[in-house]
Chain A
């Protein structure tokens, strides 16, 4: 099993990137532009208090403009300019939201297209019948052969096949789906490449898991997440405060004998209220969902993505996440008096009933060791299948011989049940294998223990660094494994995880999650099997693998279409980035106010109190040009920041303090400085028009 992991990951990232629309793709922009006008409806705008106030301001200046037109023509161009810029501000905000929405829809559509209509081979009482895929019902059984499309979501009940799931995951390498175990889930729209499988349909047409998830993704558009709601309230509060500030200026102006024009007051108001974040808030949330989707994770709600950023503890299965693939049988440790071949043969016998990758690797190693003398599966033998509970498997041959292999304690219990005892020599072998990071599998024939087969793990390349980064962000990583304590400790040490659960049964996971939650921690985990379902449901973030069972998918609050266990880490990063972007743009928005004040306040009162000219630090040409420049900057910054809103602020795995320091410098200090330069530039450009 050799492939270059980095190339593999790179290829996957490239594929993903190609599926993501570029930021301002033409048709998306067209849809968004149209949508941004439709969204001007007041009852739609009212959802966003900041932009709603802006729209009211725009309507008011429009009325002033109309009155000006009817009455006199003084300052008409200025009023017109203010009106235009105010409407532009509102439209820019709508455009940002519409664009993010259009991108999400486009992604969802891509997924929906995979749900092709197909003919299905329904099996009733052993007879096949051709029906259309949308006539299938839950519980019905279909047969799918190589080259055919799986008609709907279901579970493989018989056989095994390679399936091309690229339509959903974008992953071209085919995957194996087989009956029993945790890889039995198949998704409608994917194609069987080889062999044939019987599938029990688990969803009605149009109600497949994917359908419902896509509906949720699209529906989430209208639902504000808790943090989004809190921020909206905050922005509304700030807007009210600035409404007060500008509202008070008119009567105060009267005290100084100044009649402040309505458009100027509205211009000041719109500049002061946090329009930048108000305009981009919805887009940021939508883009978070979109980023999750383009990482091939379907979140059941925006809340789940947001919550991912808060995760304190990650529960990761060792296999496939921390170590490469599955444990492989690598070595035999026979007890004295037993030959290597004897052990290999017995191990093979005992493993015929074990469909797990570990079991299969024992067969494989046996075949390599014994060559042509390897035993073959004998019809009539009674198989004792491997289960997560018994943790042993075996075979009873018709001739009375019986073979067992399994975890040491399971075998110990088994032989003790036959009045045999565990010898110190065996214990030494088991401990020895465990100490070296291997998994000891004890093989017994009858009540006689023959020896130990060592399964070894290979750490995924780069996994240590990855955990290092998680720790930097304050996350604890907990490794979950069925291995015994010694083995688990050895691998945990190699991989650098914070804690491990050894000899884990499904209940242990659940118990661990509950314990962590009692201490106030938020837990994320990934799972695929039915026995993971309770833990997935209990965890704050439960990511189910798409290849997993239906129960697991129902229990989690996200589904990973790639069934990639390391995806959890990406999901957390997306969640964190989402919140960071909100905070950063809010800070930027408020920091901008300083420069805007310096532009507008002197300009407003220049006539009544000429000495205020000293505050015109930017040297703006005329009062009207100063006010317009600030207002134009305020509008133009919205489309300029759309890329930040949609892509998210740059994310680095660092401790909270370093991240905050960095973001405060860029968006806080930058937010104070940038508008000084921007307003000055716009003022110079306006000066060239000689209109103001």
Chain B
């Protein structure tokens, strides 16, 4: 039964990713015909945007536009959140937010992380949720898709990578919006509320009053999952019955989590014209993902450590799980949400068995098992460049990727980008573990408490947004530190890879011979896998041992 569920989710997502990618590729390329609905709507957009939105941009102009737009959005949302008490659509009269929380939340949603140090239903007005956060859930995901499209164009040899504003518009309105509408409808059918009315009040059997929070949930949840955002409408995220009422909606949401990241690989293949290469990348990601799901489900099939010696249950670890989903669906979701940079949850990650927790952490450390919308593949690109460089030499030629020689400049940028991730995770964890900033906010001593800190930084650096919980994280040091990390960890790994692609695009392509390292073979898949494991995973082995592994061994 559990195997069937996993196969259903992964299989459906993989199948749907193919047509989705076809659609995305069509949407991201300029309209073919000079007439028709698409052309006329785009020309309206171009008339508004003028030259800025139409002109082809090289990687510098492209990233500059990307940064400008995202900074602007950050400021807008910062202002909305700051003024929510006087803005409309606030039926429940939500009050003023604490400044560091505002910074953290704006950073979190701009960076597609959606790490939430607030409770949506307690603190935010509908206006903040819809025009602040949900808007960012669209455009931050669109930024990811645009970046990937630009990278793919660069790697197919174009020094002009398209226009960021056009790409953003297309990704938002042609890709994300239709998909989100479709998903929302399915969710509403599954019982997810969609209303602008304030909280409902009910009289319980005991005679007491219960205030039941509600709102435009279906729309919010759809884009939250599709755009690997993960920020829930409610604090309990997709464990909340209004965000994820049933087994049926759970499956839909799981598929939505992984759909666009998977489709991104095919889109990359289509734009670069190297589908066989895309198949290899997809397979490597799929193998890693399937392995992680299998392990997590296996680890969760054992009861929680506290019950280990007690003759209480034959089921898996249902501590912290929603009983309507069960241990398997909880573990599967946990892996999917950390493998992509989604971060929505349907169970308590703090309560997973220690080694399951390690699988989730590994998902965020690698951040490439399909990864965030668009950016997952960009992260993978870095591992590929390093793998190609080292293994390319082993075939006796100057290493080349997609026909272009990889030289000092590219390696400098690639290594710099790869360093960002461990720097934020290990550096952040080290500082917070040493100081009361972190040490006094943990709920548990020893390895588990350490894992709480480690998880929070991993989640921020991977732009994931899921919380291990059990951590009192709404403090100024946490808000500021993770806020800064989320922004830097979002934009550095977009800008530098685009710089690499820009530099590669300027090189003369070398013809393929039998002496060339081929990128569409099983062997190349092994090269990528090795590169991910030896360069990505080795960096985190010590902290993995000190956190989850030590906790596991302690029982």
Contacts and interface: CB of A to CB of B under 8 A. Distances in A.
Interface of A: 226-227, 229-231, 233-234, 236-238, 240-242, 244-245, 247-252, 254-256, 272, 306-307, 309-310, 312, 471-476, 519-522, 575-577, 579-580, 582-584, 586-587, 590-591, 593-594, 597, 601-602, 605, 609, 611-612, 614-615, 651, 655-657, 659-661, 663-664, 667-668
Contacts of B517: 656-657, 660
A290 to B, nearest CB: 18
A668 B546 contact: no
A583 B394 contact: yes
B302 interface: no
B515 A251 contact: no
Given A233-B408, A249-B430, 17 more contacts: A233-B411, A251-B434, A252-B543, A254-B433, A255-B433, A255-B450, A310-B397, A472-B514, A473-B514, A579-B393, A579-B394, A590-B538, A605-B545, A656-B395, A656-B515, A657-B523, A660-B523
A256 B426 CA distance: 15
Interface string B429-452: 111011000010000001101100
A233 B389 CA distance: 12
A551 B221 CA distance: 75
Contacts of A230: 389, 406-408, 410-411
Contacts of A247: 426, 430
Nearest to B512: A474
A288 B152 CA distance: 37
B550 A601 contact: no
Interface secondary structure of A, over-half rule: helix
12 contacts: A230-B406, A234-B411, A247-B430, A255-B433, A472-B514, A575-B396, A593-B538, A605-B546, A612-B553, A663-B394, A664-B527, A664-B530
Contacts of A254: 433-434
Contacts of B201: none
A587 B398 contact: no
B545 A241 contact: no
Given A241-B418, A474-B513, A655-B515, A601 B541 contact: yes
Nearest to A518: B508
Given A474-B514, A576-B397, A586 B550 contact: no
Contacts of B447: 609
B412 interface: yes
Given A244-B426, A252-B546, A593-B534, A237 B419 contact: yes
A576 B396 contact: yes
Given A248-B426, A248-B427, A597 B542 contact: yes
A272 B540 CA distance: 12
A312 B395 CA distance: 14
A49 B395 CA distance: 26
A214 B541 CA distance: 49
B245 interface: no
Contacts of B439: 255
A102 B541 CA distance: 41
Of the listed residues A474, A519, A597, A612, the one surrounded by the most CB atoms of chain B closer than 10 A to its CB is A474
Interface string B447-459: 1011000000000
Nearest to A254: B434
Interface of B: 386, 389-398, 403, 406-408, 410-412, 414-416, 418-419, 422-423, 426-427, 429-431, 433-434, 439, 446-447, 449-450, 508-511, 513-518, 521, 523, 526-527, 530, 534-535, 538-539, 541-543, 545-546, 549-550, 553-554
Contacts of A576: 396-397
A597 B545 CA distance: 10
B143 to A, nearest CB: 27
Contacts of B416: 237
The 9 closest A-B pairs by CB, nearest first: A474-B515, A237-B415, A583-B393, A576-B396, A474-B513, A583-B394, A251-B434, A611-B553, A255-B433
B219 to A, nearest CB: 41
A238 B415 contact: yes
B430 A252 contact: yes
Contacts of B414: 237
Contact of B407 (A226, A238, A312, A594): A226
Contacts of B549: 612, 615
Contacts of A245: 422, 426, 539, 542
A474 B516 contact: yes
A664 B391 contact: yes
A238 B419 CA distance: 8
Contacts of A252: 429-430, 433-434, 450, 543, 546
A594 B538 contact: yes
Question: Which of A234, A590, A663 is most buried by chain B, counting CB atoms within 10 A of its CB?
Answer: A234
Contacts of B433: 251-252, 254-255
A612 B550 contact: yes
A580 B538 contact: no
A521 B510 CA distance: 6
Contacts of B542: 245, 248-249, 597, 601
Contact of B450 (A256, A475, A575): A256
Given A254-B434, A655-B514, A664-B526, A587 B391 contact: yes
Contact of A587 (B390, B419, B430, B514): B390
B539 A241 contact: yes
A287 to B, nearest CB: 15
A248 B545 contact: no
- Choose among B450, B517, B541 the residue with the greatest number of A CB atoms under 10 Å from its CB: B541
Contact of A256 (B390, B403, B546): B546
Contacts of B511: 312, 519-521
Contacts of B422: 241, 244-245
A667 B395 CA distance: 13
Nearest to A656: B395
Nearest to A671: B534
Contacts of A306: 398
Given A240-B419, A312-B513, A471-B514, A660 B538 contact: no
Contacts of A656: 395-397, 514-518
Contacts of A663: 394
B165 to A, nearest CB: 34
B394 A587 contact: yes
B95 to A, nearest CB: 36
Given A234-B386, A579-B398, A660-B395, A244 B515 contact: no
B541 A597 contact: yes
A590 B534 contact: yes
B514 A237 contact: no
B396 A227 contact: no
A454 B406 CA distance: 51
A583 B392 contact: yes
Contacts of B395: 580, 583, 656, 659-660
A570 to B, nearest CB: 14
A660 B418 contact: no
A312 B397 CA distance: 10
